[in-house]
């Protein structure tokens, strides 16, 4: 498998990204279309928030259809908590896109991200859809990746090339997300495309399981959004033997998908609003998978842990404390804890107790942009990874003036 830190065009797919006028800054694209030239199957995972935006509710129904060939996405307005008019606007986005691409409305999905509770500027949105439909191309994915961003500092894209039945296959993904990020999805959108031939049922299984170990294991600020979703389209253009069972080809496909999902999730965590560093929790020795994940998630979500990392303070007590209220079952007296980065590794806890360590070296390790918290529970065989970022002054500044 070969990984690329960019979006490799997927055979049979086109995309575009344009400025429609939803955002105030005309230099920032705010509307994207992703289109499959041939029929494709779709799988998706949606927010667990009870307050779901109109696009999410519509997609939860439309994604059940056998064919999905287009996704239209706008940024700058979430179309959430906008009542009946919001549903009409989302459906109008779908209808307009379908008309421009000669598709049935039930073959189009819709996504929105941005400010909650503000009516959609539909004159700008519909004009943008017309413009985007006319500029679709196999080279348009970079623009499409820019068109889905809100407070993100940059586009988030990754691709994997591999083979199935000796035929070249691609999985490419783009995502957005910077704030309102928390396990069980977040204010993030993820769009993954592949030319793999795979059944809708196996595609849904692969995505659901992949999301559990990637997008559901990140946290920026503890807020779960109204709009988040991850979608994958597979158009079968690779012409491999269709994956319909949990066999060798499925495992190869799932491994590639996991790489794409994890890399996109890490990019979101690293690009957290105001963040200065990416934090990875690498936990081993859990009694069960559930216990391992609960402990890892709790560490990465803790505001006190995140604040300590912003100050590069080796305050390991906050980490053990966050594990203690995680509802994960573990023996605190067994825990070992280490900090690691490009500057080295240092142990700070042994058998649940602090041990003497070089504070200067610990500081140097924690000052790096990518820091790992290594936790050894020594209670079992299960492990988990989670990703997040530090909590800085700038996070408050950004969200204190989000609407302006």
Indicate which residues carry an active-site annotation. 187
Please name the helix (run of DSSP H) or strand (run of DSSP E) that holds residue 157, with its range, or none: strand 156-164
Helices and strands: H and E segment counts in the chain: 11, 17
Q: Which residue has the tokens 């209808």?
A: 95
Instruction: Quickly count: other Cβ atoms within 10 Å of residue 303's Cβ.
Output: 12
Question: Residue 99: what are its φ and ψ, rounded to 5°?
Answer: -65, -40
402: exposed, middle or buried (Cβ count in 10 Å: 0-12, 13-18, 19+): middle
Q: Residue 222 in contact with residue 260, Cβ under 8 Å?
A: no
Hey, CA dihedral for 293, 295, 296, 302, is it positive or negative?
positive
Q: Residue 261 in contact with residue 211, Cβ under 8 Å?
A: yes
Q: How far is CA 393 from CA 275, 310, 390, in A?
A: 9, 9, 10
Distance CA(18)–CA(378), nearest Å, equals 52
Q: Which of 101, 93, 82 is nearest to 13 (CA)?
A: 101
> From edge to edge, which strands make up the β-sheet containing 108-115?
13-18, 31-36, 70-77, 108-115
Q: Long-range pairs for 94-98 at CB < 8 Å and ≥24 separation?
A: 94/58, 94/62, 96/126, 96/129, 96/130, 97/33, 97/70, 97/72, 97/129, 97/133, 98/70
Distance CA(305)–CA(314), nearest Å, equals 10
Parallel, antiparallel, or unpaired for β 13-18 and 31-36? Answer: antiparallel
Distance CA(213)–CA(258), nearest Å, equals 8
Question: Residue 19: what are its φ and ψ, rounded to 5°?
Answer: -100, 120
Q: How far is CA 262 from CA 83, 216, 255, 279, 338, in A?
A: 35, 10, 11, 14, 23
DSSP per-residue letters across 195-212: ---B-HHHHHHHHHHHHH
């Amino acid at each position: 498998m070969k990984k690329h830190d960019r979006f490799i065009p997927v055979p049979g797919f086109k995309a575009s990204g344009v400025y429609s006028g939803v955002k105030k800054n005309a230099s920032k694209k705010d509307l994207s279309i992703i289109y499959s030239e041939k029929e494709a199957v779709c799988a998706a995972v949606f927010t667990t928030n009870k307050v779901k935006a109109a696009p999410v509710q519509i997609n939860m129904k439309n994604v059940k259809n056998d064919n999905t060939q287009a996704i239209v996405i706008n940024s700058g307005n979430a179309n959430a908590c906008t009542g009946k008019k919001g549903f009409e606007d989302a459906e109008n986005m779908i209808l307009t896109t379908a008309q421009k691409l000669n598709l049935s409305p039930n073959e189009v999905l819709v996504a929105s991200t941005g400010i909650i509770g503000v009516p959609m500027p539909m004159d700008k949105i519909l004009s943008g859809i017309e413009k985007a439909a006319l500029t679709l191309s196999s080279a348009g994915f970079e623009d499409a990746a820019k068109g889905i961003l809100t407070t993100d500092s940059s586009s988030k894209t990754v691709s994997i090339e591999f083979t199935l039945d000796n035929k070249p296959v691609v999985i490419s993904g783009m995502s957005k997300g910077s704030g309102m990020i928390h396990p069980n999805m977040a204010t993030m959108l993820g769009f993954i495309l592949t030319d793999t031939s795979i059944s809708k049922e196996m595609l849904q299984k692969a995505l659901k399981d992949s999301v559990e170990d990637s997008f559901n294991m990140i946290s920026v600020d503890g807020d779960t959004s109204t709009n988040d979703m991850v979608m994958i389209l597979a158009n079968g253009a690779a012409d491999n033997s269709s994956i319909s069972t949990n066999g060798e080809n499925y495992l190869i496909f799932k491994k590639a998908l996991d790489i794409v999902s994890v890399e996109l999730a890490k990019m979101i965590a690293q690009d957290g609003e105001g963040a200065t560093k990416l934090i990875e929790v690498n936990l081993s020795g859990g009694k069960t998978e559930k216990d391992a994940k609960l402990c890892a998630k709790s560490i990465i979500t803790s505001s006190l842990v995140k604040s300590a990392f912003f100050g590069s303070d080796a305050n390991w007590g906050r980490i053990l404390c966050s594990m203690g209220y995680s509802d994960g079952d573990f023996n605190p007296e067994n825990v070992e804890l280490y900090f690691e980065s490009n500057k080295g590794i240092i142990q700070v806890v042994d058998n649940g107790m602090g041990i003497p360590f070089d504070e200067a070296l610990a500081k140097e390790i924690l000052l790096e942009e990518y820091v790992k918290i290594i936790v050894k529970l020594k209670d079992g065989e299960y492990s988990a990874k989670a990703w997040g970022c530090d909590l800085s002054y700038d996070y408050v500044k950004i969200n204190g003036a989000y609407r302006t």
